[in-house]
Amino acid sequence: KAGVTQTPRYLIKTRGQQVTLSCSPISGHRSVSWYQQTPGQGLQFLFEYFSETQRNKGNFPGRFSGRQFSNSRSEMNVSTLELGDSALYLCASSLGVQGNQPQHFGDGTRLSIL
């Protein structure tokens, strides 16, 4: 069974640009969550989608947005990039939104801002 697929794996952008990251969940999984991982802050929750609806949002500025499509694939967008946005962006999927459902992660997109 294929795991969570994230594209691209690596991305280099400059300040002020915008970027779109893509995530394909495990087949049959309907919930997709996004996290930002940095050496200083660790893994921080960005947002979660289920059935094309955003259910939860973390403490990030409005420059960070996302969406989910009817096939459960998800994208996140970051506009007006800042140097501090350099991070590993991880997508995780789970069967549903129940508390005991484990989330399974992709290998992330490494975003570097110059």
Q: What is the 3-state secondary structure (H, E, C) of 7-44?
A: ECCEEEECCCCCEEEEEECCCCCCEEEEEEEECCCEEE
66 Cα distance to chain centroid: 8
Does 98 bind other proteins (CB under 8 A)? Our answer is: yes
The site map against other proteins for 50-89 (x = CB under 8 A) is: -----xx-x-------------------------------
- Check binding of 107 to other proteins (CB under 8 A): yes
Q: Which residues bind other proteins (CB under 8 A)?
A: 4, 6, 31, 33, 35, 42-45, 48, 55-56, 58, 90, 92, 94, 97-108
